[in-house]
């Protein structure tokens, strides 16, 4: 049985530290995604090679996420969170150094690509500890009735980081494309130190009997086969695959359709993603926190919002239309992820919160395994094909979400 631990900080400060950890991680991730198209082209990499970097690191993150979630049940949320933040800071620093060597033509071609993929995968394996430990800690300190709002706060912190990241990255990219990566490394490293010094242990920590490495790996990965979460896992993966299709091609679209330089495209993409994050943040504050919309209602809004946004990208070839389209996609993702995390969390007891948080946190990465490769491959054929695919995917996903609502009614009636 889990045993309670007494926190040494006020609940509000504890939650602020958790949200800060999520926020700086999101800032760094968004900044990297926005810079990669421009960094890749400036270093002589093709579109598909840029997509390969994201896909490989996303696969590593997805495999590690439920394992770290299970380790947070064994060792506590706080140590796992510190490991995730520290690994992200160090990994970003190494990633930036490798790109710096590529931009200065010290590393070229296959050697540069190999080092970038290996560095990003190693970083992802460790940074995967942050989202599940923060989400599981949030589940520990919220009641079931407040779970959706608690997870929405995690989403809001993620969006706030997404708002700040593009703006900071766009400004610094005008000075140097690599400079924002060094700033992220320093910021996340500072957050790791802050969590180490001030965050108390989680209120609950389980004590499973078998802590051998093989048992930990097997138990963590077994979450992918759990039938209780299969529908939610599919929903989350498809949502984020669609986001990846859009996000990883938009930087190229700005360069090709709007005739921007790599540096100009990085700034424009940063501004666009920042606008999308603001839309998502406001939607979460108004609809989730104020109106307290149920998780299934959020999912029912998320799917058509993403479909319409992708449809607009399919049609428009001007910056205003593209920005409006991406804002709709951001709203959909902002509603969808907290809903999936809350629904998954409510299906298990406190003893399994780490594993289910790891599984939910893996959804974005699983979506980004195929999304960048599929998106950049389709983009090389025709600039509009990625957005046409997103529109098509929203049709079966809408049917799946409708079935989720029917499943909930059956559970309530039984």
Model confidence over 276-315: pLDDT tens digits?
Answer: 878 887 877 777 677 677 888 888 889 999 999 999 988 8
Rounded to 5 degrees, φ, ψ at 4 are -70, 145
pLDDT at 19 over 70: yes
Q: Output the pLDDT for position 82.
A: 96
- Residue 249's alpha-carbon distances to 99, 212, 255, 328, 371, in angstroms, are 20, 42, 10, 17, 10
Mean predicted lDDT score pLDDT of the chain: 83
- Which residues span the domain enclosing 136? 3-199+210-413
Per the domain annotation, does 204 fall within a domain? no
Decide if 238 contacts 367 (C-beta within 8 A). yes
Mean pLDDT (whole number) for 185-208:
85
Per the domain annotation, does 205 fall within a domain? no
Per the domain annotation, does 231 fall within a domain? yes
Tell me how many domains the chain contains.
Answer: 1
| More confident call, 219 vs 371 | 371
Mean pLDDT (whole number) for 73-86:
92
Mean pLDDT (whole number) for 317-346:
87
Per the domain annotation, does 186 fall within a domain? yes
Read off the CATH number of the domain in which 46 is found.
1.20.1250.20
**The pTM of the whole model exceeds 0.95:** no
Per the domain annotation, does 246 fall within a domain? yes
Per the domain annotation, does 349 fall within a domain? yes
pLDDT at 208 over 60: no
| More confident call, 229 vs 66 | 66
Decide if 201 contacts 5 (C-beta within 8 A). yes
């Amino acid at each position: 049985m889990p045993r309670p631990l007494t926190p040494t900080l006020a609940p509000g400060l504890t939650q602020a530290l958790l949200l800060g950890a999520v926020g700086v991680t999101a800032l760094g991730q968004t900044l990297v995604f926005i810079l990669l198209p421009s960094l890749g082209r400036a270093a002589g990499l093709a579109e598909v090679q840029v997509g390969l970097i994201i896909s490989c690191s996303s696969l590593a993150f997805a495999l590690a996420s439920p394992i770290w979630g299970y380790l947070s049940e064994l060792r506590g949320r706080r140590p796992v969170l510190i490991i995730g933040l520290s690994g992200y800071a160090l990994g970003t620093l190494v990633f930036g150094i490798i790109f710096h060597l590529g931009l200065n033509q010290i590393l070229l071609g296959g050697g540069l690509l190999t080092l970038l993929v290996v560095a990003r995968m190693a970083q992802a394996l460790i940074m995967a500890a942050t989202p599940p430990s923060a989400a599981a800690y949030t589940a520990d300190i919220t009641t079931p009735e407040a779970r959706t709002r608690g997870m929405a706060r995690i989403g809001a912190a993620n969006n706030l980081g997404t708002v700040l990241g593009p703006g900071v990255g766009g400004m610094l990219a005008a000075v140097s494309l690599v400079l924002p990566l060094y700033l992220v490394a320093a910021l996340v490293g500072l957050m790791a130190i802050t969590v180490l010094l001030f965050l108390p242990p989680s209120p609950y920590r389980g004590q499973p009997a078998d802590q051998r490495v093989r048992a930990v790996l097997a138990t963590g990965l077994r979450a992918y086969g759990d039938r209780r979460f299969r529908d939610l896992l599919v929903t989350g993966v498809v949502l984020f695959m669609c986001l990846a299709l859009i996000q990883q091609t938009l930087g190229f679209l700005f360069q090709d359709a709007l005739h921007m330089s790599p540096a100009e495209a990085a700034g424009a993409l940063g501004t666009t993603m920042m606008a999308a994050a603001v839309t998502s943040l406001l939607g979460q504050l108004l609809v989730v926190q104020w109106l307290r919309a149920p998780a299934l209602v959020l999912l029912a809004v998320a799917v058509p919002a993403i479909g319409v946004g992708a449809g607009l990208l399919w049609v428009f070839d001007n910056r205003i239309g593209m920005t409006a389209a991406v804002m709709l996609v951001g709203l959909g993702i902002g509603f969808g992820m907290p809903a999936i995390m809350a629904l998954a969390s409510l299906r298990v007891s406190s003893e399994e919160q780490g594993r289910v948080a790891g599984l939910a946190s893996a959804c974005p990465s699983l979506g980004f395994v195929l999304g960048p490769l599929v998106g950049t491959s389709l983009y090389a054929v025709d600039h509009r094909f990625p957005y046409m695919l997103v529109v098509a995917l929203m049709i079966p996903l809408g049917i799946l979400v409708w079935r989720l609502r029917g499943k909930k009614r059956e559970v309530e009636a039984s």
